């Protein structure tokens, strides 16, 4: 790839490159149009009634506004068909950004606790959407089912059991742990985590975002397959060495980190330092509709702001493929196909 590419050409190359995404929330991907559609479908009063009001609601202002928007979006999900709809639309948008493999995070607890949708019906809704996405686009989707830290401990065990059931069909690949991190370390949920991992389900927690390195250290007791966010590992050289040596990837979401206030300015973001420390990193969107981003934008940001080359982006994509929670033959095949595609961009992707 010529180093003389102009900015427009480079942007087009980044858009065309095949991609892998490992950290995106189904609920946080809901489009404004879909939110309004569900509000009208269920005759809800969630404070917005017109397209103009919905557009304003989705205009990011600050973290408090994000939390309000997220709560309203999740309140609009009332039945399994709603889950299938937003999941299918997420898959379609992934296809439009040349994503080849997508692991999407979904939180079933609020749907069960707040809406009474049985766990098996939620799992079936996700699986139906993934099957449809694969048939229509060729994008393979798998799911990480997420327990929200602030919710009851017994709910975490229920989510873990749902993960085990979903793993038997191949739809679910991981147990996640999200929500507000301070005061809710992974060790608090040890029983559920160990149940899931003993039954072949990977542990994929959010950590090292609102809490510093100690949050990641706490997770390491359970052998996590990856760490969601994890950027505050940069504050601890010993932790960086462990992540590097154990090859534990970080699912980094730069725009999200800026919007939530985890970093005050992208100049403070440690993405480049993590990469140069030898820690496996991938770039992701987190809640793309709410943070007004997509995976192509995140890759462009990696180039324009963090100075990554196209070759380094290719290496990062292959790191994502290597980090996919697929059976070994499928993971190997994904990596092989991506290497072949990336070779067409005349990049050194090894």
Positions marked catalytic:
209
- Tell me if 228 sits within 8 A of 251, measured CB to CB: yes
Q: What are phi and psi of 42, to 5 degrees?
A: -100, 5
Radius of gyration of the chain (CA): 19
User: CA 326, CA 338: separation in Å to the nearest integer?
Assistant: 15
CA-to-CA distance for 279 and 102, rounded, in angstroms?
21
- Residue 344, burial from CB neighbour count under 10 angstroms (0-12, 13-18, 19+): exposed
* Nearest to 280, CA basis, from 308, 311, 310, 252: 252
Largest CA distance in the chain: 57
Q: How far is CA 254 from CA 96, 105, 181, 198, 281, in A?
A: 21, 17, 18, 33, 12
CB 203 within 8 A of CB 197: yes
- CA dihedral defined by 123, 124, 129, 130, rounded to 10 degrees? 70
32 burial via Cβ count (<10 Å: 0-12, 13-18, 19+): buried
Return the HEC string of 149-167.
CCCCHHHHHHHHHHHHHHH
Order of all β-strands in the sheet with 99-106: 19-25, 99-106, 140-148, 172-178, 202-207, 227-229, 250-252, 281-283
Residue pair 53/283 in contact by the 8 Å Cβ criterion: no
Distant-in-sequence, close-in-space partners of 248: CB < 8 Å, separation ≥ 6: 220, 224, 225, 226, 227, 242, 279, 280
């Amino acid at each position: 790839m010529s180093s003389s590419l102009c900015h427009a050409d480079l942007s087009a190359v980044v858009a065309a490159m095949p991609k892998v995404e490992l950290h995106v929330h189904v609920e946080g991907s809901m489009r404004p149009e879909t939110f309004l559609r569900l509000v009208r479908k269920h005759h809800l009063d969630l404070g917005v009634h017109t397209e103009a009001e919905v557009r304003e609601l989705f205009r990011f202002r600050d973290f408090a506004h994000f939390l309000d928007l997220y709560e309203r979006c999740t309140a609009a999900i009332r039945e399994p068909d709603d889950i299938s709809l937003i999941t299918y639309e997420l898959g379609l948008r992934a296809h439009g950004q040349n994503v080849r493999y997508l692991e999407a995070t979904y939180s079933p607890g609020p749907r069960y606790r707040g809406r009474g949708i049985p766990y098996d019906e939620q799992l079936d809704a996700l699986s139906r959407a993934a099957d449809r996405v694969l048939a229509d686009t060729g994008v393979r989707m798998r799911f990480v089912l997420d327990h929200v830290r602030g919710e009851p401990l017994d709910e975490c065990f229920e989510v873990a059991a749902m993960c085990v059931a979903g793993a038997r069909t191949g739809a679910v690949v991981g147990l996640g742990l999200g929500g507000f991190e301070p005061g809710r370390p992974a060790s608090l949920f040890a029983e559920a985590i160990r149940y899931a991992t003993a039954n072949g389900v990977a542990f994929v927690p959010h950590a090292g975002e609102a809490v510093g390195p100690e949050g990641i250290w706490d997770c390491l007791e359970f052998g996590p397959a990856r760490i969601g966010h994890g950027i505050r590992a940069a504050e601890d050289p010993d932790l960086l060495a462990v992540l590097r040596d154990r090859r534990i990837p970080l699912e980094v979401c730069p725009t999200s980190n800026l919007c939530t206030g985890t970093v005050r300015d992208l100049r403070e973001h440690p993405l480049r330092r993590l990469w140069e420390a030898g820690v496996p990193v991938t770039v992701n969107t987190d809640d793309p509709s709410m943070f007004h981003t997509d995976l192509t934008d995140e890759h462009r940001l990696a180039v324009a702001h963090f100075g990554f080359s196209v070759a380094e982006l290719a290496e990062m994509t292959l790191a994502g493929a290597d980090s996919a929670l697929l059976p070994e033959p499928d993971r190997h095949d994904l990596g092989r196909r991506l290497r072949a595609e990336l070779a067409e961009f005349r990049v050194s992707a090894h």
